[in-house]
């Protein structure tokens, strides 16, 4: 999966080199499959986040959008003056002030004309453009001789299945991200849970930070640690109920930083399951489960967070239960 996606990105960057389209960086493995657990048993998507960098002569300006729940942003694309600046390509023309560059930008394809609504990066346009390019580049890859590519409908990501004959091989989903500074936090093309998501809205995602967290735990835990099995069993048991997989994942991350890793051995399996359920029950009673990466002093230092996330007050992901007595009652019955 990684090799295939890497080849796509190389073809993209070669084809759109020194143009007004975004630069694609190395894809980052995210999600439960790469973390080593999954709430599903089959047809699991291999999810990778593709960071987008602004093209030469442009910048991304991240604007908080307070009208939506959670931390969400819009990405405004702006032209910047590059007069006198020597670019890596030794190109010195300025998109903003050079008449030839301005004419080329106005007449040819560009990020502002093709991937934006107004001046804001449009998630759906970006996903459609990427999906179209994947279909076009497939024939240039050696894998196309033995495999088939089946694009799948998706408004905010690039999703496709790789098949050998009629046999399912891989389900791959590429989401797009804009990095917040040099941190492990990105704005992503994913939907906001249980809400309509505007085409120009980029929700904050912690998927890269979560991946780093579970890799850190794997490097420090004993080889026969059962923390991932505990998470997998709990999420599969509660699928289709009031509690999302992310709720259980948050509970387990909190416990992994407040309980010695030596206590997650195979022989402690049932005790740890009881601890997970006990923690969840306590959070339900208080109607409060704090987000792991927002205002949490226990986040390992190796995970790079924006200063704002470290300094802010903890964020309650059970806020809807605190505000809605009926939802709280339903959650308790489900538990």
Tokens representing 327 are: 């939802």
Q: How far, in Å, CA of 110 to CA of 20, rounded?
A: 5
Cα separation values, 112 from 55, 81, 106, 196, 273, Å: 11, 16, 9, 24, 51
- Position 238 scores a pLDDT of 80
- Position 87 scores a pLDDT of 57
- Position 165 scores a pLDDT of 81
- Position 108 scores a pLDDT of 63
- 302's CB contacts (< 8 A; 6+ apart) are 212, 216
CA-nearest of 109, 112, 57 to 87 is 57
Segments making up each domain of the chain, as ranges: 1-207, 221-334
- Position 82 scores a pLDDT of 76
- Position 43 scores a pLDDT of 75
How many helices (H) and strands (E) in the chain?
A: 12, 12
Tokens representing 180 are: 């917040």
- Position 169 scores a pLDDT of 83
Fold of 1-207: Beta Polymerase; domain 2 (3.30.460)
Tokens representing 270 are: 């049932």
Fold of 221-334: Poly(a)-polymerase, middle domain (1.10.1410)
- Position 242 scores a pLDDT of 79
The one-digit pLDDT tens for each residue of the chain (335 residues) are 999 999 999 999 999 887 889 999 999 999 999 999 988 777 788 999 999 999 988 999 999 987 655 689 999 999 988 776 655 555 556 766 666 655 565 656 789 999 999 999 999 999 999 999 999 999 999 999 999 999 999 999 999 999 988 787 889 999 999 999 999 999 999 887 656 678 999 999 999 999 999 999 999 999 889 999 999 999 988 877 878 899 999 999 999 999 999 999 999 999 999 999 999 999 999 999 999 999 999 999 999 999 999 999 999 999 999 999 999 999 999 88
Cα separation values, 191 from 34, 90, 129, 175, Å: 20, 39, 18, 10
- Position 100 scores a pLDDT of 62
| Exposure b/e, 288-321, CB count within 10 A at least 16 = b | ebbbbbbbbeebeeebebbeebeeeeebbbbeeb
Tokens representing 317 are: 């992901």
- Position 95 scores a pLDDT of 67
Tokens representing 260 are: 């010695």
Specify whether the CB–CB gap between 250 and 289 falls below 8 A: yes
The radius of gyration of the chain from alpha carbons, rounded to an integer in Å, stands at 22
């Amino acid at each position: 999966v990684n090799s295939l996606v890497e080849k796509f990105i190389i073809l993209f960057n070669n084809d759109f080199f020194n143009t007004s389209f975004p630069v694609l960086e190395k894809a980052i493995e995210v999600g439960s499959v790469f973390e080593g657990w999954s709430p599903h048993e089959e047809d699991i998507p291999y999810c990778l986040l593709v960071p987008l960098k602004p093209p030469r002569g442009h910048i991304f300006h991240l604007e908080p959008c307070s009208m939506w729940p959670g931390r969400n942003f819009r990405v405004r694309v702006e032209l910047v003056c590059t007069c006198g600046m020597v670019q890596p390509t030794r190109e010195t023309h300025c998109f903003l002030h050079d008449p030839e560059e301005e004419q080329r930008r106005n007449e040819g394809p560009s990020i502002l004309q093709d991937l934006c609504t107004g001046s804001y990066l449009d998630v759906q346009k970006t996903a459609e453009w990427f999906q179209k390019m994947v279909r076009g580049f497939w024939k240039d890859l050696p894998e196309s001789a033995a495999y088939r590519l089946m694009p799948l409908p998706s408004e905010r990501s690039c999703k496709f299945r790789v098949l050998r004959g009629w046999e399912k091989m891989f389900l791959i989903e590429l989401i797009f991200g804009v990095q917040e500074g040099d941190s492990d936090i990105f704005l992503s093309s994913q939907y906001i849970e249980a809400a309509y998501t505007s085409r120009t809205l980029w929700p904050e995602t912690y998927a890269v930070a979560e991946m780093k967290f579970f890799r850190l735990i794997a490097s420090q835990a004993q080889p026969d640690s059962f923390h991932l099995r505990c998470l997998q069993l709990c999420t599969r048991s509660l699928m289709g109920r009031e509690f999302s997989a992310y709720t259980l994942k948050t509970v387990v991350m909190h416990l992994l930083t407040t309980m010695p890793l030596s206590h997650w051995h195979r022989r402690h399996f049932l005790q740890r399951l009881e601890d997970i359920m006990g923690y969840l029950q306590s959070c339900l009673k208080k109607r409060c489960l704090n987000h792991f990466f927002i205002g949490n002093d226990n986040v390992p230092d190796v995970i790079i967070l924006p200063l704002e996330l470290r300094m802010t007050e903890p964020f309650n992901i059970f806020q809807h239960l605190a505000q809605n007595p009926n939802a709280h009652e339903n959650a308790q019955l489900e538990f």
